[in-house]
Structures are given as structure tokens and as C-alpha cells.
Structure 1
Amino acid sequence: MSSPAPFSEVVRDRRAIRSFLGKIVTDDVLHAVLDEAQQAPSNSNTQPWIVHIARGAARDRLSKALLRAEDEERYSLDFPYDGSVYEGAYAQRRQNQARGLLDALGVSRDDETGRRLATRCNLEFFGAPQVALLCVPGFAGPRITADAGMYAQTFLLSLAARGLGGVAQTTIGFYADTVRETLGLPDDHKLLFGMSFGYPDKHWTARTPRTGRATLVESVRFHE
């Protein structure tokens, strides 16, 4: 197993991967990533995350079940999502990201079929042979979900440090009941989102633009 890259390089080079090779992540590499993700900070060291990894036959069953749920419009979110709450610069960044991705896929703004097919790729895990489902306990509120977000960031950075890639997928969180039913998860494992991960398709990354980042002036306020 090769040594991880320096943090400053990893945090700047990491990107959301939406096309993967079919190569399985071996147990030794996966366990190293999971062990590092487990070091994420959390309020009072409660570590309130529960992670389910689906691979092999379970991964395939889950993808088929998610696609059926999408066909039948059987949505079941454990945590509400409303894109309309984003305003101003936040809304603009969201629109820019979506437009850049669709442009890279050759999908026009008025191509409803193409847009739907692009969304459905989430439910096929972008070809990744494994997917992580990030859950929290049933009593979770905003502070606990924030802790789970720190876990996800650590998990994604650990992947990137090893030449792997991942993508956090809000779309998978739209089908929480389907995930629980298919994988046999307890009712009190509340799904935040999924993270497909594996070996990036470098042909895809080469033709897909990177998203920009706000300047520090836009995001940081100093008080002295």
C-alpha cells in the first residue's frame, strides 16, 4: 500500500468523481481509509455516525432498487431538502456547478430526458463497485449531522490521499426507506447521503472542469 500524499496537496486536488473504473478497493486499503475517517472530530467525542458499505451483490441489488424507486417516484427523505433556500451567491454557485457538469456531459438546459439520465447515474453509483451509506442515530439533529459531515470530509480526503476518489451524493438520501429495506438496516439508522467511491476514470476527470472556490474575502470575517 503506497504512502498517502501530503495534506496540502490532497485538499487542493480532491474533487467529486462521477465516473469510476470497475476495480474493487481491496480490504486493506478500505480499512485504512475507514480507520482514518474514524479519527474525525465530533461533539464530546460522541462519534455519531453509522456507515454501511454495499459492494458485490448487495451493491447491485441496491442500485436496482433505487432505480425502481426513482421510476415510481417513491421518495423517502429522513432529512428535508429544499434547493430554493439558497439565495444570492449561494444559489449562483449551485447553478454554476450544475451547468458545468451538464455541459461536460453534453446535456442542454432544455433536455429534460438528458438531465434525468444524468441524475439516474447517481443511483448506479457512477460505475463504482462500492458505495458508503452515511447514517446517523434516529435522534440526530443539526449538531449531530454536522459531526457526520466531518466524518464524510475525512473519508473523502483519505480516499484522495491514496489515489482513490469519491463523491457525496444527496440524491441517494432521497430514497432512505429503499436503502433500509434493501440492505436490512434498522429503522433508527437515518440516512444522510451516499458516497460512491473507488478508482477514478481519468478520461472523465480530464474532460470535466473543476468547480471554483469562493475567495477568503467572501467567506471569512476577521474581528480584532
Structure 2
Amino acid sequence: MLELKLFHAVLRERHSVRSFLPTPVPDEVLRAVLEDAQLAPSNCNTQPWQMHIVSGAKRDELSREILADDDVGHSTPDFSFAHSDFYGPYSERARSQGAAYYQAMGVAREATEDRRTASRLNLSFFGAPHVALLFMPSFGDNVRVAGDMGMYGQTFLLSLTAHGLGGIPQTMLGFYADTIRKVLDIDPSLKMLFGVSFGYPDETHAANKYRIGKAPIEESVIFHQ
């Protein structure tokens, strides 16, 4: 029987993996991870998540179609996203993350084409053998549903780590929602929030050797007594 890691260790070991081995995840391990994720809480127990897991030839087809759209600048996000919307400490944290990643990859700030190449690794799923795409129904302003999706996604990511796997949540995949719906024949009423490329981490790759610091709790938590 697979021995799982202690929760305290899982929390501290989980990180965004940006290079993977080509080894597929065994079906029984993947099912165990999905059963863990299914235990995530949700508003009124609606369990709104629709998870599409893509592997093998279909994974390769999907990556080709997304890259082709990116080549011509064609994006179809269901939800807005722009770094320019960030401000103050949120903007600074985002800049620090990007700088740390490109530095780990040996990409200079002024190397525009190299930075684009590194960014486009998102669209080939960082070499992962699997990608999970999270779709959701639309309820009201979607804020509560998105919160449920985040809790599901975090539970999925933590279970991956507990099973010796790794993953990376990718907002960028959501920029190609229409393309993904077309390739996978997904109902247009379901909206794509983000994807998670996952598999066995390539621990030797430079992209997996850096870690992002977290803000102290004093910056995020206010105690009232």
C-alpha cells in the first residue's frame, strides 16, 4: 500500500512544478488523487467542478491547437486577467515571482524572445504527461463558484504532492477556453477557470530548483479580540 506523507510535510513540499518526466501516472494513483479532491468543500455542497483530464494523443493535439492560437494572438478567456490590475504588494509579489522564475531558467530580463519561449512552456504543459482542466457552471457573479473551484484545486494539488507527484496551476491555459472546448467537445455553458499540468517532477531541471517565499502572516492576518 502506498505510504502517504504527513500533512505538515505535504504543505511545505508542495510547489509549482515546471518540468516533468514523461512517465504517465498509474490509473490507480490518479483515481486516489481524484477521490481526495472530491472531498473539497463547496457552497451548499454544490460541488460545481468539472474536471477534464487530458493525456496521450489527445494531450498532444490540444497542445498543438493552443500553440497555433497563440502564434496568431488568438485568445478566448472566459474571465479577465491582466498583470496591470495588480497594485501595491500584490504587484510586487507578482514581479518577484516572475523574476525568480526567469533567473532560475537563465533568461535575462532584456531577452524578450527567450522570455516568450519560456512563457509558452505553459502551452505544452511543461512536458507533463497529463493536464487537468477545471470548468465550472456560471452562477450569479461567479465569485462563490470560483472560490469552490479554488478549494477543489488546492485539494487536488496537495493530494498530488502526498502521492509523490507534482502539479502547477495555470491561469494561462484559461486564455484558450474556446479552443479547449472545441478540441474536447465541452458544453459552451461551462466556463474554464484554470488548468493544472501534473505528473512526476523532473527534479534535475533548473525550473524546479527555486522556491518562492511567502509573506509573513502579519501581512495577511488581522486578529480581533
Matched residue SS, 1:132: strand
Question: What percent of counterpart residues are identical?
Answer: 50
What is aligned with 1:5? 5
What is aligned with 2:58? 58
CA distance in 1, matches of 2:217, 2:76: 37
Gaps (5+ residues) in structure 1?
A: none
1:179 matches 2:180 = yes
Amino acid at match of 2:71: D
What is aligned with 2:14? 14
| 1:141-160 Cα shifts (integer Å, max 9, x gaps) | 11101100000000000000
1:199 matches 2:200 = yes
| 1:185-206 Cα shifts (integer Å, max 9, x gaps) | 1111211111000000010268
The structural deviation recorded for 1:3 is 1.8
Q: 1:165 to 1:205 in 2, by over 3 A?
A: farther
What is aligned with 2:135? 135
| 1:26-59 Cα shifts (integer Å, max 9, x gaps) | 1100000001000001111111110000001110
TM-score normalised according to structure 2 size: 0.97
CA distance in 2, matches of 1:16, 1:42: 24
What is aligned with 2:167? 166
Q: 1:163 to 1:205 in 2, by over 3 A?
A: farther
Contact persistence 2:18–2:207 (CA under 8 A): no
Contact persistence 1:17–1:205 (CA under 8 A): no
| 1:66-96 Cα shifts (integer Å, max 9, x gaps) | 1001001110000111211211111111000
CA distance in 2, matches of 1:156, 1:61: 25
Q: Show structure 1 runs of 4+ deviating over 4 A.
A: none
TM-score normalised according to structure 1 size: 0.97
Amino acid at match of 2:118: A
CA distance in 1, matches of 2:224, 2:31: 42
Contact persistence 1:40–1:150 (CA under 8 A): yes
Matched residue SS, 2:25: coil
1:24 matches 2:24 = yes
Q: 1:132 to 1:30 in 2, by over 3 A?
A: same
CA distance in 2, matches of 1:101, 1:153: 21
What is aligned with 1:109? 109
Contact persistence 1:101–1:208 (CA under 8 A): no
Contact persistence 2:17–2:207 (CA under 8 A): no
Amino acid at match of 2:110: D
Amino acid at match of 1:70: D
CA distance in 1, matches of 2:194, 2:68: 18
What is aligned with 1:124? 124
The structural deviation recorded for 1:208 is 2.5
CA distance in 2, matches of 1:47, 1:138: 13
CA distance in 1, matches of 2:44, 2:85: 30
Please, what is the CA RMSD of the aligned residues?
1.2
CA distance in 1, matches of 2:97, 2:42: 29
CA distance in 2, matches of 1:205, 1:221: 37
Contact persistence 2:59–2:131 (CA under 8 A): yes
What is aligned with 1:147? 148
CA distance in 1, matches of 2:2, 2:133: 26
What is aligned with 1:92? 92
Amino acid at match of 2:167: G
